[in-house]
Structure 1
Amino acid sequence: MTALAMRLAAAGAGSAAEPAVVVVPRVQADPAMNAPQAGWDAAASIRIDEPVGEAARAPVRLTTDVSILRTEDALALRFVCTNPSAPNFETRERDRDAEAYDDESVEVFIDVRDGSDYYHLVVNASGSVYDGRKLNRSWNGDWTAAVRQSGHGWEATVRIPFQTLGGPPAPGTYWLLNICRNARGPDGQWERSAWIAPGYHRPLGLFCFGDVDARPLFRDLHRALANLQRFETVGAAGAGASISASVATLESRIDDPSRVAPERFAGLLAAADEVSRTIEPSVQQAVMRAILETPRP
């Protein structure tokens, strides 16, 4: 099972749905950190509108729009957070790595897919920040955040140098990311929302920095398929042949697996995850069959 399939399963998804995709535009100069719209015209945009938590059945009332850019050496995000309670919403100045997520705040979860824990960055409406790796707050990254109050709520701009995330994204790679918002509305009720539910600590959306190299995806499938076929050689042929045909069909749809358009890669990844979901139980069945059919001395 691929990494995304495992994350979707952990999130409670019944099948590998096609993931959301953002193609991150590249600009030459850093956008302004504390000025409305300055330098953000070329940005990709997403809306944080999936309700999560206890009020997940109610629609999101407090909207959050996010603009996304990259430069040669950093990722930049701008959050426009509406709240009719402004400027009296609940927030406070806190020490670094204190519970900024308990205030009016935004949270960013970034998985750079290097095998290590994902990054967790938080900024509240007072400009206080929290950062950590997974649930470990001892990690402190070299990143900056600026906030400003507005008539409709508040805004935050975050600049994350790639070096603090282990280095810039290599050509053809993609990252996984999610963004969440914590807000208390005029009625005093907390509202928690995400780009992709269930949100918190679930980096599920694809952040692509250009065309994606699909060859590692196919290598993983072939490796899992070879493992299945190795066990099936002991007994009668099982699922290996049909799974092999499915993998071949996926490969035939891609002219150049080293350069796949991000939107098309999302569909390919979802299809590959569906195939991978059949491999693990098939391996288990093949192992049991091999054990049962091996002659005993």
Structure 2
Amino acid sequence: MGGKMRTLATGFAGLLLAGACLAQELRLPMGKELSAGGFVTTRGEIPGLNTEVKVRRDAENLYLTIFNELEPGTRPKVAGHRDDDVSIFGGEVVEVILSPEPESGVYYHLAVNPNGALYSAKRRDMSWNPPVSRKIDWKDSGWSAGLVIPFSAFGGKEPGAGTAWGVNFASGRTVQGGYSANWSGASDYHDVKQLGKLIFSGGEKQETAEIRKLVLRNNTVFLELGISGKTAGGSPWIRVTLNGQKYEPEKMESGGCMASSWKIPLSQDYLPQKSSHILEVLVKDKPDGRVLFHKKALANSAHAGDLKLDRFYYTYDDGKVNYSHDFAEPAEITVSRDGKVCRTIRNAKKTGVFYFAGPPTGKKAAPGLAPGRYVMEVSSGNKRTSRVFFILGKVPAPVPIRAEAEFKIDGDIFTLDGMPVFLLGGSPTGKAFLQFGDAFNVDYGRYGVQPNAVQILGIPGYRLTRQPATGYVFPPDAGFKRIVDKSLESGGKMKRFFTRIAYEAQMNVYEKNADGKLTEKNPPEFYAGLYRHLKAKAPERYFSIHIDHHGNLKEFASVCDIFETACWSSSFSPAMIPNLVRDMKEAKTAAGCKPVIFWLGGTIPNVSCRTAEELRAGIYLAVIHDLAGIILHMGHGYLPQERSRLWSLISGVNAEIQRFYPEFRKGGLLRDFVLKSSEGFAYAARKSGDKVILVAVNLSGGEKRLAMKTVNGDIDDVFTPYEPKVYEAEKQGIAELPL
């Protein structure tokens, strides 16, 4: 028997429950020059400046010319110190990564700055010094590095026909906020699996398709595509789409090399908070459908038409909402609940105040509003945008933790007193400006911690070093183990804690010998041995390990009880959401049945880019994808007080999640509960007792309507940017759900 679905308030009003990276390929015959362009950032985004590589070879050398476009009238930042090759990465560089035998995991890394200074390493071993000649050229539009790389530098002769090397080209930029873009679409240059292919072909004729230019400027994508050679069916089949909508080229040239160009605006009536459009370029040979080229990238539009509120949660002690917008005047603001407008502000100024608790003393205003979820929308002409906020009847309080509650791992979840608990913590920060006190149930950053929270301990005895490369220095094995064993004697009476073996464990590991010299160790192997020792000495304890690069994801996930991780392509990206689901799934797959604590950047990559909506969506996505907790990275300075809406969200989201999480996570996953759904949403349904709980998240930076058919009825609802919502099935429909 079907029934309606009703929204569970994901704030605190109303009913609450208790408790693509595509493989890139270059086919390089003798004597022919190919172009490798279409760079995207390590976060999969289209950059604002173009980089193009020209590649050719002869019997002895590989020849590369890497051109880096510059902003008009600018010069690139140049960094570097004598006897410190790594220091060139403090400025602009171009990079080449080559792997003659990708299956071995060995790669060679070259980088050159605008002065011609060279960095070279085999993996991270900088003792590899190949005889690479380089030439730097300057133009008004940019600079280029010409490299001649002998095949003998890799210990072999000219690669034979059909040989495939791993390859990537990259450009490190210091402008436009700083970013690194690359040809293969890699998120980690040290992960051989993310390299493209350089195939040394014979003299046969072939067709090639290549992107010569791919940049995003002034909310417009500029794309240039070149096709050389003649396909079997004449002109190839080309499809360029943005969010699934096909775009025809503005210009086409034919002849020995066909060239096409596109100019695609990112214009919308609803102005998104942050919007990531998906650009896809697909080129096929007409007769046999053979793919000549395929690339996907994210086009992030700018913050045009912003609306800012001073908080995410409001209490009646606040009494008012302070807002600002940058829409053209005259603008109109409406406040609505459940789709019905309850307030209208005509000719709204750029900044203003909206009173919701009744009129202030001596002024006229509309009657107060009841607790609940509200949407403020600003519009001007045909442009509009909106933000959600909550009016709370009382200060939110998370589920209390008893002083005697025991912290346990049950499969891939955490429990307190036998009930599932989602861990939420904040890393140490310079200053905190929380709206409410009990923000976290993990005692990590020493602020905003609710009573009896779970604690994170550390392993003593090792230190951070910057020489010979950034990493950790450990004492000799026997001495270090004595220090560790002594530390394990503490915490015997503690009931709620786990011990982190290492933070950013992917960094280099060195063991200091008796003579003071350092011996480099393989990090996954070293920590595997340390983890075995820790579990042998304290089998009842839980140990975590943390990484923020995924080159050895499975290896690190296997040397802990709790896996902590972050991804620069999502966690610490200016646009968090586009790659977040992919990265969370990857971490969960690597960890298997272990709990995963995912890190999200609150102040990383900077203190201005993260929004309350993004962070809230990220936390709900962790719940949907069966992760066990979130740590908010609040370091590298602090989030300033004027980011009060984000501080408000951080203050109250712990209580928001704990209201439904224990029942939701205790339930069994219902994979077939949703029969049909609108695209652009992530969701999960679980059955616990006589309840079915469905959590859905809008993955878009714009307003989006959810049309969903479920076993228990239909949902037709409108979501604001990145908004999550929680639904519960009516009781009369639950009995008929398949278990």
Which range, TM-score by smaller chain?
Answer: 0.5 to 0.7
Q: For the residues of structure 1 that align with 2:110 and 2:65, how far apart are their CA atoms?
A: 14
Q: For the residues of structure 1 that align with 2:71 and 2:189, how far apart are their CA atoms?
A: 24
Q: For the residues of structure 1 that align with 2:113 and 2:23, how far apart are their CA atoms?
A: 28
Amino acid paired to 1:65: E
Unaligned runs of 5+ in 1: 1-12, 28-41, 212-262, 268-297
TM-score by length of 1: 0.55
2:160 corresponds in structure 1 to: 170
Q: Report if aligned partners of 2:171, 2:181 keep a CA contact under 8 Å in 1.
A: yes
Deviations 1:10-68 (A, max 9, x none): xxx7xxx76211011322xxxxxxxxxxxxxx41111152111xxx3653011100010
1:47 and 2:37 correspond:
yes
Match of 1:26 among 25, 30, 37: 30
More strand by share: 2
Deviations 1:221-271 (A, max 9, x none): xxxxxxxxxxxxxxxxxxxxxxxxxxxxxxxxxxxxxxxxxx88999xxxx
Match of 2:198 among 194, 207, 212: 207
Residue 85 of structure 1 deviates from its aligned partner by: 5.8
Change (3 A) 1:58 1:21: closer
Residue 199 of structure 1 deviates from its aligned partner by: 4.7
Amino acid paired to 1:130: Y
1:155 and 2:144 correspond:
yes
Deviations 1:184-225 (A, max 9, x none): 22x5x21210112215223421100116xxxxxxxxxxxxxx
1:130 corresponds in structure 2 to: 119
Root-mean-square deviation over aligned CA pairs? 2.7
Residue 136 of structure 1 deviates from its aligned partner by: 1.2
TM-score by length of 2: 0.23
Match of 2:133 among 144, 149, 161: 144
SS of the counterpart of 1:60? Answer: coil
1:103 and 2:91 correspond:
yes
Change (3 A) 1:265 1:119: farther
Amino acid paired to 2:143: W
Amino acid paired to 1:160: I
SS of the counterpart of 1:99? Answer: helix
Q: For the residues of structure 1 that align with 2:72 and 2:170, how far apart are their CA atoms?
A: 19
Q: For the residues of structure 2 that align with 1:133 and 1:86, how far apart are their CA atoms?
A: 37
2:510 corresponds in structure 1 to: none
Match of 1:70 among 57, 61, 76: 57
1:83 and 2:70 correspond:
yes
1:278 corresponds in structure 2 to: none
Q: Report if aligned partners of 1:44, 1:67 keep a CA contact under 8 Å in 2.
A: yes
Q: For the residues of structure 1 that align with 2:91 and 2:133, how far apart are their CA atoms?
A: 19
Q: For the residues of structure 1 that align with 2:136 and 2:82, how far apart are their CA atoms?
A: 16
Match of 2:48 among 57, 61, 64: 61
Change (3 A) 1:122 1:58: same
Aligned pair count reads 182
Structure whose CA Rg is larger: 2
1:180 corresponds in structure 2 to: 170
2:180 corresponds in structure 1 to: 192
SS of the counterpart of 2:152? Answer: helix
1:120 and 2:124 correspond:
no
Q: For the residues of structure 1 that align with 2:39 and 2:162, how far apart are their CA atoms?
A: 29
Residue range with higher mean Cα deviation, 87-96 or 175-184: 87-96
Q: Report if aligned partners of 1:104, 1:183 keep a CA contact under 8 Å in 2.
A: yes
SS of the counterpart of 1:26? Answer: coil
Q: For the residues of structure 1 that align with 2:87 and 2:184, how far apart are their CA atoms?
A: 23
Q: For the residues of structure 2 that align with 1:169 and 1:177, how far apart are their CA atoms?
A: 14
